[in-house]
Chain A
Amino acid sequence: MIKHRSITLSPRNRRATLVHVCRATIVLGIASCLATRMFASEAFSEAIATTQPNVVKIYGAGGFRGLEPYQSGMLVSSEGHVLTVWSYVLDTDYITVTLNDGRRFEAELVGADPRLELAVLKIDAENLPHFTLSDAIEATAGTRVLAFSNLYGVATGDEPASVQHGSIAVVTNLEARHGVFETPYNGPVLVLDAMTNNPGAAGGVLTNRRGELLGMLGKELRNSLNNTWLNYAIPIGELAPTAEKIILGQYEGANTDEPRVQKTDYPLTLDMLGIVLVPNVLERTPPFIDRVRPMSPASEAGFRADDLLIFVNGRLIQSCNALLDELTYVDRADAARISVMRAGQFLEFTVRAVVDDVEEGR
Chain B
Amino acid sequence: MKLRMAKLPWIGMLVFGLTLLWSSIFIDADDVSSAVLDAETERIAVMAGARQTVLAIFSADGAGGGSGVVISSDGYALSNFHVTSSTGDVMQCGMADGRLYNAVIVGIDPTGDVALIKLLGRDDFPAATLGDSDLVGAGDWSFVVGNPFLLATDFQPTVTFGIISGVHRYQYPSGTLLEYTDCIQTDASINPGNSGGPLFNSKGELIGIVGRGSFEKRGRVNVGVGYAISINQVKNFLGHLRSGRIVDHATLGATVASNAQGRVMVSDILESSDAYRRGLRFGDEIISFGGRPIRTVNAFKNVLGIFPQGWRVPLGFRHEGKKVDVLVRLRGLHSASELRALMQQMPMEPPPEKDRKKVPSPRKESPREPSIDDVAEENLEPEGPRPDDFVKKRTGYANYYFNEFERSRVWEAMSGHGNFTTVAGAWHFEGSLTGGGRFALDLDDAAARLTLPMDEVLVTLTDDASRSLDPPGSGGLLLTLAMWRRLLVHGPEDFGQVYYLGTSPLPGHDGLVDVLVGLYAGIECHFLIDPVEGDVLSVEMFPGEDVDPCRLRLSDYQAVGQQQVPHRIEISHGDDIFSVLLLDEAVLESERGRP
A, B assembled together: yes
Known A-B contacts: A26-B5, A36-B42, A155-B166. Give 5 more (CB < 8 A).
A39-B42, A157-B262, A160-B166, A162-B165, A163-B138
In the complex, are the beta carbons of B30 and A152 less than 8 A apart?
no
Nearest CB on A from B308, distance (A): 25
CB-CB contacts below 8 Å: A6-24 with B: 14, 17-18, 21-24
In the complex, are the beta carbons of B39 and A229 less than 8 A apart?
no
Nearest CB on B from A88, distance (A): 16
Decide yes or no whether A2 CB sits under 8 A from chain B: no
The 8 A-B residue pairs whose C-beta atoms are closest, nearest first, are: A195-B224, A44-B139, A38-B39, A28-B35, A157-B296, A41-B140, A162-B165, A227-B362
CB-CB contacts below 8 Å: A164-217 with B: 164-165, 194-196, 198-199
- Partner-B contacts on A (CB < 8 A): 14, 17-18, 21-29, 31-32, 36-45, 47-48, 52, 65-66, 102-104, 146, 151-152, 154-165, 194-196, 198-199, 222, 226-227, 229
In the complex, are the beta carbons of B214 and A154 less than 8 A apart?
yes
Q: Which of B10-18, B412-420, B538-546 contacts A (4 or more CB under 8 A)?
A: B10-18
Q: What chain A residues lie within 8 Å of B262 (beta carbons)? A: 102-104, 157
Which single residue of chain B is at the shortest CB-CB distance from A146?
A: B139
Decide yes or no whether B63 CB sits under 8 A from chain A: no
Nearest CB on B from A120, distance (A): 26
Which single residue of chain B is at the shortest CB-CB distance from A26?
A: B15
In the complex, are the beta carbons of A66 and B165 less than 8 A apart?
no
Per-residue contact bits, chain B 341-368, to A (CB 8 Å; 1 contact, 0 not): 0000000000001001101111000000
Decide yes or no whether B86 CB sits under 8 A from chain A: no
Decide yes or no whether B323 CB sits under 8 A from chain A: no
- Given A154-B214, A229-B218, decide whether A163 and B296 contact each other with a Cβ distance below 8 A: no
Nearest CB on A from B80, distance (A): 20
**Cβ-neighbour of B30 out of A18, A40, A47 (below 8 A):** A18
Q: What chain A residues lie within 8 Å of B140 (beta carbons)? A: 41-43
Q: What chain B residues lie within 8 Å of A155 (beta carbons)? A: 166, 169
In the complex, are the beta carbons of B19 and A160 less than 8 A apart?
no
Nearest CB on A from B203, distance (A): 8
Give the docked Cα–Cα distance between A226 and B360 (Å). 11
In the complex, are the beta carbons of B137 and A26 less than 8 A apart?
no
Q: What chain B residues lie within 8 Å of A18 (beta carbons)? A: 16, 19-20, 23, 30
Q: What chain A residues lie within 8 Å of B258 (beta carbons)? A: 157
**Cβ-neighbour of A158 out of B46, B296, B353, B359 (below 8 A):** B296
- Given A102-B295, A194-B224, A198-B225, decide whether A44 and B39 contact each other with a Cβ distance below 8 A: no
Nearest CB on B from A21, distance (A): 5
**Cβ-neighbour of A38 out of B16, B19, B38, B296 (below 8 A):** B38
- Given A102-B262, A102-B295, A160-B138, decide whether A196 and B38 contact each other with a Cβ distance below 8 A: no
In the complex, are the beta carbons of B15 and A39 less than 8 A apart?
no
**Cβ-neighbour of B34 out of A17, A25, A39, A102 (below 8 A):** A25
In the complex, are the beta carbons of B162 and A165 less than 8 A apart?
yes
Give the docked Cα–Cα distance between A161 and B185 (Å). 11
Nearest CB on A from B363, distance (A): 9
Nearest CB on A from B353, distance (A): 7
Give the docked Cα–Cα distance between A158 and B35 (Å). 37
Q: Is the interface of A mostly helix, strand, loop or mixed?
A: mixed
**Cβ-neighbour of B38 out of A32, A65, A146, A154 (below 8 A):** A32
Q: How many A-B residue pairs have CB under 8 A?
A: 166
Give the docked Cα–Cα distance between A32 and B39 (Å). 9
Give the docked Cα–Cα distance between A158 and B263 (Å). 12
Q: What chain A residues lie within 8 Å of B187 (beta carbons)? A: 163-165, 194-195
- Given A44-B163, A195-B225, decide whether A23 and B5 contact each other with a Cβ distance below 8 A: yes
**Cβ-neighbour of B1 out of A27, A154, A160, A196 (below 8 A):** A27
CB-CB contacts below 8 Å: B274-301 with A: 295-296, 298-299
- Given A24-B34, A38-B36, A164-B163, decide whether A102 and B139 contact each other with a Cβ distance below 8 A: no
Nearest CB on A from B292, distance (A): 12
In the complex, are the beta carbons of A36 and B214 less than 8 A apart?
no
In the complex, are the beta carbons of B163 and A32 less than 8 A apart?
no
Give the docked Cα–Cα distance between A227 and B39 (Å). 38
Nearest CB on B from A64, distance (A): 10
- Given A154-B166, A194-B187, A199-B216, decide whether A25 and B19 contact each other with a Cβ distance below 8 A: yes
In the complex, are the beta carbons of B296 and A22 less than 8 A apart?
no
Which single residue of chain B is at the shortest CB-CB distance from A220?
A: B217
Decide yes or no whether B222 CB sits under 8 A from chain A: yes
**Cβ-neighbour of A164 out of B1, B224, B296, B298 (below 8 A):** B224
Q: What chain B residues lie within 8 Å of A152 (beta carbons)? A: 214, 216, 225, 353
- Given A36-B38, A151-B214, A152-B214, decide whether A159 and B166 contact each other with a Cβ distance below 8 A: yes
In the complex, are the beta carbons of A198 and B362 less than 8 A apart?
no
Nearest CB on A from B481, distance (A): 49
In the complex, are the beta carbons of A165 and B19 less than 8 A apart?
no
In the complex, are the beta carbons of B166 and A21 less than 8 A apart?
no
Q: Which of A21, A45, A198, A227 has the most B CB atoms < 10 Å from its CB?
A: A21
Give the docked Cα–Cα distance between A164 and B138 (Å). 9
- Given A102-B262, A160-B138, decide whether A26 and B12 contact each other with a Cβ distance below 8 A: yes
Give the docked Cα–Cα distance between A39 and B43 (Å). 7
**Cβ-neighbour of A45 out of B12, B137, B359 (below 8 A):** B137
Q: What chain B residues lie within 8 Å of A41 (beta carbons)? A: 137, 139-141, 201-202
- Given A194-B224, A222-B359, decide whether A163 and B163 contact each other with a Cβ distance below 8 A: yes
Which single residue of chain B is at the shortest CB-CB distance from A41?
A: B140
Give the docked Cα–Cα distance between A161 and B164 (Å). 12
